[in-house]
A and B are shown apart, each in its own frame.
Chain A
Amino acid sequence: MKVNDMTDFAIQTEDLAISYGAVEVIRGVSIEVPKGQFSAIVGKSGSGKSTLLGIISGLENPDKGRVLLNGTDIFALDDNGMAEARRRQIGIVFQSFNLVPSLSALENVLLPVVFDDKMSKPDYEARAHDLLSQVGMNDRASHRPGALSGGEQQRVAIARAMINQPTILLADEPTGNLDETTAAGVLDLLTGLCRDIGTTLLMVTHDMDIAAKADRIIEIKNGKVEQ
């Protein structure tokens, strides 16, 4: 996917809709997320926040509408194009970490670039170590997720999301499974790393304290954007 510099928006959605059976979960959502900012999607539990983020990531197909990432319609891309977009342009951080249990922290960070030749393997490894240091996990690089706490796993997951210095970082309740102090640390890390390299951060949260730190807030209510 090519970065389209003609648009000021990292993410645009046009009239997105999705239903599960008879339940309309997203009902005509059009949002615009400016580049380089931290935007928060807020709303009550079950309002459709995660579903919206899933569609934006291309990992959930909408029934209707378009998603433009840096100006490119992602659902018009083929398997390769979509994968390349996720590998090079998008990082995703989940509430439940989603590390690969068989791999060490370092290997998890390197997993996105197994097939990537943008940099040499040693360069990627150096960057992975660097990222693990930034998230305070380099001394745990050889540990498997099973041997790490929730906060530590999320730090590794953040390092993994940043391995290709994405222009967009999508985070779905990244601190939802963490206790308050751990959550604060992880949040600072995430926002700090994105700010450092100008990554657009779109974070789903139901925590208004977190949302308060965002440049913009998008509120979802019953599958629609609350104006």
Chain B
Amino acid sequence: MKRTHYLKRELGFRRGRSIATLLSIGVSALAAVLLISIATTYSKAVQAPMKSVGADIVAQLSGDIPKALEGLVFPHPNALLPAESVSKITALPGVVSVTRGVYLWELQPNPYKSILGIDGGAAGLDNLNANLVAGAAITPESNAILIDSDYAAKNGLAVGGALLIGDQDFEISGIVDAATGGKVIRANVYMPIGLAQELAVNAPRVQELYPFGPNDANMLLIKVDSRDLRTVVEAIRTELGKKAVVSSGLSFQETLDSVLFLSEKIGLILALVVGLFATAFVLRATASAVNERQREMAVLEAIGWTRHQIKWQVILENTVLAVLGSVGGILLAVVIARLMGGIEISIDLPWDLSSTPHFLPDAKLDRTAIVNLPLEISPSLMAVAGLGGIAVGLLSAIIATSLKRPQPWALLCSE
């Protein structure tokens, strides 16, 4: 007979207690894994709006209101960014790429529209072209524009048609569904930055406030090394001064933290509390199980097992239960996560990130972004939960078997 055979017999014989230990470890592994995965999913949600932009930081500068609300103007949060500041920001350590944008509103006499001119590249035209639902993509050299699908539908515009901006007709090259790309930096009309710069240079209401030149911008989409996010955000704030409008995942974090009860931190704390209770429970269960078996342990000693062998037999039994319980709990958590599918989170977007004029009621944009994130249980979380469960079982067994035992003979003589 092998010790593993004895172990199996023992676990099977004391089925009630085995199941109780198994369940306590399993349920706590399950609870910890689910809580942490829900919490991390929520914390990922804050990155979703910026992800749709394809950048980590949006830098703007708030400016002045034009004397008359007519023609092409810069929205209030989109003042001219000094060329010097732009090159300083581009040179900041941790900055991977900078995509420039020119954001414009066109007011009366033409119908209201928002216009975004943007550089080429991943966070710029490529990102828009990726959401094309009709027509053809545009390049930085194009003379044509893309329009938003909602705007196209409302105004009966189609690919191949033209749209009047200022006193110029622009050919509609394609239609993009920006809604699927998120609602951040959303405009009715998208064009290569060169065209927008030209519009701004020739717009009297822009020029009356800013010395905007043909190479200037009023918005920057910045990609950074995620480790440097905080320092880059700080550096940009310093560079742009008091009027800086700097948006990043960090800003959503703040808004979300106040709304969500399950932030990553609270999830961790909850998981910790669950873990602590489970540890206490398992420790208690193990201690009483070991106590129940004092006599059997005395028998083993009487027939020639060493104290060491006896102790490890009991520890091994508990470890087997801990392994089975942890694995079972984690598998169940994965199944539950699958069944739940994902979590839907709605996030309020700041006005600055896709400004629409408040004075035009019909131009208002729905500012809640609904983010649907799949509930995922990462392998590392599974590993940590599994090892944690096993460690709890192992440790409680080591503690329980290390407690002082009565002399074996008295146990063996009792009825």
Q: Which residues of A pack against B, CB within 8 Å?
A: 50-51, 54-55, 57, 59-61, 79-80, 82-88, 92, 94-96, 98-103, 107, 110-112, 114-116, 121, 160-161, 164, 172
Contact between chains at B304 and A59 (CB < 8 Å): no
User: Separation in Å of the B211 CB from the closest CB of chain A?
Assistant: 90
Contact between chains at A79 and B295 (CB < 8 Å): no
B301 interfacial by beta-carbon distance below 8 Å = yes
Given contacts A79-B307, A96-B415, 17 further A-B contacts (CB under 8 A): A50-B409, A50-B413, A54-B407, A54-B413, A57-B302, A60-B410, A83-B301, A87-B305, A92-B302, A94-B412, A100-B300, A102-B6, A110-B1, A111-B6, A111-B303, A114-B1, A114-B3
Contact between chains at A103 and B6 (CB < 8 Å): yes
Contact between chains at A111 and B302 (CB < 8 Å): no
User: Separation in Å of the A23 CB from the closest CB of chain B?
Assistant: 14
The winner among B1, B305, B309 for most chain A CB atoms within 10 A is B1
Q: List 29 A-B contacts (CB under 8 A).
A: A50-B413, A54-B407, A54-B409, A54-B410, A57-B409, A59-B302, A59-B407, A59-B408, A79-B307, A80-B306, A83-B305, A83-B306, A83-B307, A83-B309, A87-B303, A92-B303, A95-B413, A96-B413, A96-B415, A98-B302, A99-B299, A102-B6, A102-B10, A102-B13, A107-B6, A107-B9, A115-B3, A115-B306, A116-B304
User: Separation in Å of the A197 CB from the closest CB of chain B?
Assistant: 18
CA distance A140 to B5 in the complex (A): 19
Contact between chains at B413 and A100 (CB < 8 Å): no
Contact between chains at A86 and B6 (CB < 8 Å): no
Residues of A within 8 A of B242 (CB): none
Contact A114 to B305, CB < 8 A, known contacts A59-B298, A59-B407, A102-B9? yes
Count how many pairs of residues, one from A and one from B, have CB atoms less than 8 Å apart in the complex: 99
Residues of B within 8 A of A79 (CB): 306-308
CB-CB nearest in chain A for B408: A59
Contact between chains at B2 and A114 (CB < 8 Å): yes
Interchain CB contact (< 8 A) of B413 among A61, A85, A86, A172? A172
B213 interfacial by beta-carbon distance below 8 Å = no
B177 interfacial by beta-carbon distance below 8 Å = no
Residues of A within 8 A of B414 (CB): 96
CA distance A172 to B302 in the complex (A): 13
Chain B interface mostly:
helix
CA distance A80 to B415 in the complex (A): 28
B376 interfacial by beta-carbon distance below 8 Å = no
Contact A98 to B295, CB < 8 A, known contacts A79-B306, A115-B305? yes
CB-CB nearest in chain A for B313: A114
Contact A98 to B6, CB < 8 A, known contacts A80-B306, A83-B305, A86-B302? no
CA distance A94 to B407 in the complex (A): 16
Contact A107 to B1, CB < 8 A, known contacts A54-B413, A57-B409, A60-B410? yes
CB-CB nearest in chain A for B296: A100
Contact between chains at A114 and B6 (CB < 8 Å): yes
Residues of B within 8 A of A61 (CB): 407
User: Separation in Å of the B179 CB from the closest CB of chain A?
Assistant: 65
Residues of B within 8 A of A102 (CB): 6, 9-10, 12-14
Residues of A within 8 A of B296 (CB): 100-101
CA distance A166 to B302 in the complex (A): 13
CA distance A61 to B405 in the complex (A): 13
CA distance A80 to B306 in the complex (A): 6
CA distance A110 to B9 in the complex (A): 14
Residues of A within 8 A of B6 (CB): 102-103, 107, 111, 114
CA distance A86 to B305 in the complex (A): 8
Contact between chains at A112 and B9 (CB < 8 Å): no
Contact between chains at A60 and B409 (CB < 8 Å): yes
CA distance A100 to B307 in the complex (A): 17
User: Separation in Å of the A16 CB from the closest CB of chain B?
Assistant: 13
User: Separation in Å of the B414 CB from the closest CB of chain A?
Assistant: 7
CA distance A188 to B300 in the complex (A): 26
Interchain CB contact (< 8 A) of A60 among B12, B304, B306, B407? B407
Interchain CB contact (< 8 A) of A98 among B9, B304, B412? B412
Contact A59 to B1, CB < 8 A, known contacts A86-B304, A92-B302? no
CA distance A173 to B408 in the complex (A): 17
CB-CB nearest in chain B for A99: B299
User: Separation in Å of the B111 CB from the closest CB of chain A?
Assistant: 85
Residues of A within 8 A of B409 (CB): 50-51, 54-55, 57, 59-60
Interchain CB contact (< 8 A) of A100 among B3, B299, B410, B415? B299
Contact between chains at B14 and A111 (CB < 8 Å): no
Contact A87 to B304, CB < 8 A, known contacts A107-B6, A114-B2? yes
User: Separation in Å of the A108 CB from the closest CB of chain B?
Assistant: 9
CB-CB nearest in chain B for A50: B413
Contact A59 to B303, CB < 8 A, known contacts A96-B414, A96-B415, A111-B1? no
CA distance A86 to B309 in the complex (A): 14
CA distance A165 to B258 in the complex (A): 76
The winner among A50, A55, A100 for most chain B CB atoms within 10 A is A100
Interchain CB contact (< 8 A) of A112 among B13, B304, B307, B413? B304
Residues of B within 8 A of A121 (CB): 1
CA distance A114 to B6 in the complex (A): 9
Interchain CB contact (< 8 A) of B9 among A88, A92, A103, A164? A103
Residues of A within 8 A of B3 (CB): 114-115
CA distance A86 to B1 in the complex (A): 19
CA distance A59 to B307 in the complex (A): 12
